[in-house]
Chain A
Amino acid sequence: MAVQVQQKRTALTGNYAVAEAVKLADVDVIAAYPITPQTTIVEKLAEYVADGIIDAEYIPVESEHSAISACLGASLAGARTFTATASQGLALMHEILFITSVLRAPVVMAIANRSLSAPLSIWNDHSDSMAERDTGWIQIWAANAQEVFDSVLQAYRIAEDRDVLLPVMVNLDGYILSHTVEPVLVPEKKLVEEYLPPKPLWNRLSVKTAYTLGVVGPPEYYFEMKYQAIDAIERSRSKIKEADEVYGEMFGRSYGVMEHHFMDDAEVALIAMGSVAETAYTAIKRWRERGAKVGFVRIRVFRPFPAEELRDLLKGLKVIGILDRATSPGSLGGPAFAEVSTIFVNERQRPLVKNYIAGLGGRDVPFSGFDYMIQRLLEAAEKEEVDVLCEYVGLRE
């Protein structure tokens, strides 16, 4: 894309990329509680507010439950809001996440993904946000600092669209993205203002309107109220695409709901999410150079799940491998695996599926791990059979 806009090449960690985007988005209210590895996001934002660089209300709350509650209230009053968390902090927000989506509050939150206790771990996997996949939030999963930055800005445009009005979480891998410095192109504020919806937003707590929010939903009405949010996330599909396309036109970068390579003649493919997908890509590229017909897919938007797009891309494959960095103990496999598997459930001709669970609690997934996964996919394609449905890669016996 030949887009000629002034963008400053800046060295930023993933967390500072989030803070930079939030600064440019001109937020009104930031409510936050520190938690590793997210802390430097809200620390940086606190600094910006204290220095008068952002004209926002900064609420240093006593817990994540209060952070999301404060954002919810402020959002209903028409403020553009932001919070960030990870792991136990996100788990503590759990009940309010459902409320935020059904009350249709366009809160934007960054998650520096970290595993959940026990045992206590500050390191990266995807179990925190995967456990929140049924809360009605839109979920974007980034693979590098630039995408983190761009996704936060896109998140505001998607969330605040009057046809959507839903909260969005932007996921970045703890430490691997949150604390690693990368070059990030940062556009001018004027252009960001043009890209984002105009303020003020819809104020539902104005004395002029005096609405009652969060009413009781008896059995006669709960279903209808809940369904409105289901309908909204369905309608968000086209808005997510539009937000990404317009971003591409204005700033020269767009991502789609998923990223894929080497898929034209692929017989097997490996699906991954987040930063580990970049290692997967390099491993797959090496196998390609050796003539293996293996393709690469990275799911970027997990909610709403891009089932149609994936069906078109994956149909005709012999075997699909899905890498999960989260588990659902007692089920057949991880959450991404379950989701991808349902795409073909009613098709007569369908690819075989295979799940890999790896990288839990910050365990590295090295090239050798990917080589194993790819080799097992090729074996399954050859035999036309999946011997082990779910394999734990990198686990010591």
Chain B
Amino acid sequence: MLELLGEHIEKQGCGKVAEKKLLGWREIPIGAMNDRPGSSAEYHIGAWRTFRPVVDHEKCTRCGLCWIYCPDAAMQPREDGYYEPNLDYCKGCGICANSCPVGAIEMVSEVR
């Protein structure tokens, strides 16, 4: 876990560059700050997931509530208007399944 965080910071947390070298205190922005907006996209957190949302297109009304509620912007619309989770970012929290008004999302265990 710490290795992951270290890599995370190195890639986007404090550094200006995505190189492996750990930066010194003079090289990082002051105030425990990440000055690269949107950089969390570089960090895949899907490995934390123990449950995966599976969308049943038979039931889905394409209302978009799952997309609105997903705290990681992992639930995304496809060209045909249906929503699917991006599994690189989906943590499996189940908020989408809870927010779906027609019960179209089932949380399926990743452990088989």
Binding site for B on A (CB under 8 A): 102-105, 165, 204, 209-221, 223-225, 227-228, 231-232
State whether A213 touches B22 (Cβ < 8 A): no
Q: 5 closest pairs, A vs B, by CB?
A: A210-B37, A212-B34, A104-B31, A224-B25, A218-B5
Binding site for A on B (CB under 8 A): 2, 5-6, 8-10, 13-14, 22-25, 28-35, 37-38, 40
Docked CA distance A305–B38 (Å)? 41
For residue A21, give the distance in angstroms from its CB to the closest CB of chain B: 26
Residues of B within 8 A of A215 (CB): 9, 13-14, 32-34
For residue B33, give the distance in angstroms from its CB to the closest CB of chain A: 5
State whether B33 touches A220 (Cβ < 8 A): no
For residue A298, give the distance in angstroms from its CB to the closest CB of chain B: 33
State whether B32 touches A213 (Cβ < 8 A): yes
Contact among A104, A209, A219, A223 with B30 in the assembled complex (CB-CB below 8 Å): A104
Residues of A within 8 A of B29 (CB): 211
| CB contacts between A and B, total, < 8 Å | 77
Contact among A209, A219, A220 with B35 in the assembled complex (CB-CB below 8 Å): A209
Given contacts A103-B32, A165-B30, A215-B33, 13 further A-B contacts (CB under 8 A): A102-B31, A204-B33, A210-B37, A211-B33, A211-B34, A213-B33, A214-B32, A215-B13, A215-B34, A221-B22, A224-B25, A225-B25, A227-B25
For residue A237, give the distance in angstroms from its CB to the closest CB of chain B: 18
State whether B25 touches A220 (Cβ < 8 A): no
State whether A228 touches B30 (Cβ < 8 A): yes
State whether A231 touches B25 (Cβ < 8 A): yes
| A214-B32, A218-B2, A219-B2 known; A209 vs B37 contact (CB < 8 Å) | yes
- Interface majority SS on A: helix, strand, loop or mixed? loop
For residue B108, give the distance in angstroms from its CB to the closest CB of chain A: 30
State whether B34 touches A225 (Cβ < 8 A): no
State whether B30 touches A224 (Cβ < 8 A): no
Docked CA distance A209–B36 (Å)? 8
Residues of B within 8 A of A211 (CB): 29, 33-35, 37
For residue A227, give the distance in angstroms from its CB to the closest CB of chain B: 5
Residues of B within 8 A of A105 (CB): 31
Contact among B2, B8, B14 with A225 in the assembled complex (CB-CB below 8 Å): B14
| A102-B31, A104-B31, A212-B34 known; A221 vs B2 contact (CB < 8 Å) | no
In the complex formed, the residue of A with least CB distance to B27 is: A224
Docked CA distance A104–B31 (Å)? 5
Docked CA distance A322–B14 (Å)? 43
Docked CA distance A20–B110 (Å)? 63
Docked CA distance A103–B34 (Å)? 11
State whether A213 touches B31 (Cβ < 8 A): yes
Docked CA distance A210–B35 (Å)? 7
| A211-B37, A225-B14, A227-B25 known; A216 vs B9 contact (CB < 8 Å) | yes
| A211-B35, A228-B25 known; A221 vs B30 contact (CB < 8 Å) | no
Contact among B5, B6, B23, B33 with A212 in the assembled complex (CB-CB below 8 Å): B33
Looking at B29, B30, B34, B38, the one whose CB has the most chain A CB atoms below 10 A away is B30
Residues of B within 8 A of A219 (CB): 2, 6
For residue A225, give the distance in angstroms from its CB to the closest CB of chain B: 5
State whether B31 touches A221 (Cβ < 8 A): no
Residues of A within 8 A of B31 (CB): 102-105, 165, 204, 213, 228
State whether B28 touches A225 (Cβ < 8 A): yes
Docked CA distance A209–B31 (Å)? 15
Residues of B within 8 A of A165 (CB): 30-31
Looking at A105, A214, A215, the one whose CB has the most chain B CB atoms below 10 A away is A215
